[in-house]
Amino acid sequence: MVGFSAAVIRRQQFLLRCLVGYNISSKNLSYTTIKMQSLVSGGSPDFAISILRSITPSLDSSRHKGQAGKIAVVGGCREYTGAPYFSAISALKIGADLSHVFCTKDAAAVIKSYSPELIVHPILEESYSVRDEDKKSISAKVIEEVDKWMERFDCLVIGPGLGRDPFLLDCVSDIMKHARQSNVPVVIDGDGLFLVTNCLELVSGYPLAVLTPNVNEYKRLVQKVLQSEVNDQNGTQQLVSLAKGIGGVTILRKGGSDFISNGDAVGAVSAFGSPRRCGGQGDILSGSVAVFISWARQCSAKRELSLSPTVMGCIAGSVLLRKAASHAFESKGRSTLTTDIIDYLGRSLEEFCPVTRRDK
């Protein structure tokens, strides 16, 4: 730990107090009094990779379309079409079978042109195109259309490219309420976090909600929930308090190290990564986490795991993105873009979970 600051040492000491024994094999994790193994700065990535391996399904001929995950991204408006694409295509690149995007009509054709692999639903509306007297009926139509699909989805991603139009946010609020009623996990990023920060009851007390704030989004959440400023000296303790303050949601605080907590324990993923900070990496992460949550829930249903599926999904999504980003930076250097990182998602997952001859 030579050269570590006192704050980092205190953080590590707190993380270590959260640990309990575990026994890991490549496809099974058994826990006693399970909390979470932490990956402190400079530590081994083995635990995060083991989590990823334990929830990644094998490939075999007995599986059918849809079993590996059906993900939906709610986002995309006139100004922002790249973010929902990045999130949705990343889910497919990792291994989800189907990926949907629910966006505004203005965004739909553009997003469709990016890839024929995505199922695009142009059902959302912005205020400029809706008369006041029509808002109630149009909102009802949006919910009716989404509800046709809701029970099919394994996870929703809320927020990439959503924008902050008031009517659009009202419709998305209703979608989130219906997802919660249907017990569908939600990963909230981007402008979805703006919505949630101003309407905490949308996720408060919902254990299948995941928030993925960056530094500024995290600051606003801390100010809103804890009524204080971000305290990096006791950052992990504050993260636990924040997750508890929102009723046990899982929070993935993005940064140099990604810190994850559901209010019970806290862990960190600091391995791999890239110094390049091009926009869109958070969108990759949201799609990745959604897929891994759906896989972790499948494992939990079989009683193979006892750790929260949302926590496992965050750990797996974080370490995979960091690995792909490191590969992309090695290849492209300063010119690395989000699309370059997406191209390395499959290779990175293959390095962690090689497809065996038997799987083929």
22 beta partners: 31
The separation between CA 71 and the C-alpha centre of its own chain, rounded to angstroms, equals 11
CA neighbor of 17 nearest in space, from 331, 266, 238: 266
CB-side neighbour CA atoms (13 Å) of 139: 17
Residue 217 is labelled as binding a ligand: yes
CB-side neighbour CA atoms (13 Å) of 40: 15
Residue 258 is labelled as binding a ligand: yes
Residue 139 is labelled as binding a ligand: no
Cβ atoms 245, 251 nearer than 8 A: no
CA neighbor of 20 nearest in space, from 261, 297, 318, 307: 307
Residue 326 is labelled as binding a ligand: no
Residue 283 is labelled as binding a ligand: yes
Residue 248 is labelled as binding a ligand: no
Residue 286 is labelled as binding a ligand: no
Q: Report how far residue 295's alpha carbon sits from residue 312's, in angstroms, rounded to the nearest whole number.
A: 10
Please provide the size of the chain in residues. Answer: 360
Residue 42 is labelled as binding a ligand: no
Residue 273 is labelled as binding a ligand: yes
Residue 216 is labelled as binding a ligand: yes
Residue 2 is labelled as binding a ligand: no
The tokens for 310 are 């949302």
Residue with tokens 């295509």: 89
Residue 224 is labelled as binding a ligand: no
Q: Report how far residue 205's alpha carbon sits from residue 251's, in angstroms, rounded to the nearest whole number.
A: 13
CB-side neighbour CA atoms (13 Å) of 238: 19
Residue 218 is labelled as binding a ligand: yes
Residue 219 is labelled as binding a ligand: yes
Residue 278 is labelled as binding a ligand: yes
Tell which CATH classification among 3.40.1190.20, 3.50.50.60, 3.30.2350.10, 3.30.465.10 matches the domain 6-55+64-358: 3.40.1190.20
pTM for the model: 0.87
pLDDT (tens place) for every residue of the chain, 360 residues total: 333 334 443 444 444 444 333 333 334 443 322 344 443 333 358 889 999 999 999 988 888 888 899 999 999 999 999 999 999 999 999 999 999 999 999 999 999 999 999 999 999 999 999 999 999 999 999 999 999 999 999 999 999 999 999 999 999 999 999 999 999 999 999 999 999 999 999 999 999 999 999 999 999 999 999 999 999 888 999 999 999 999 999 999 999 999 999 999 788 999 899 999 999 999 999 999 999 999 999 998 886 666 799 999 999 999 999 999 999 999 999 999 999 999 999 999 999 999 864 444
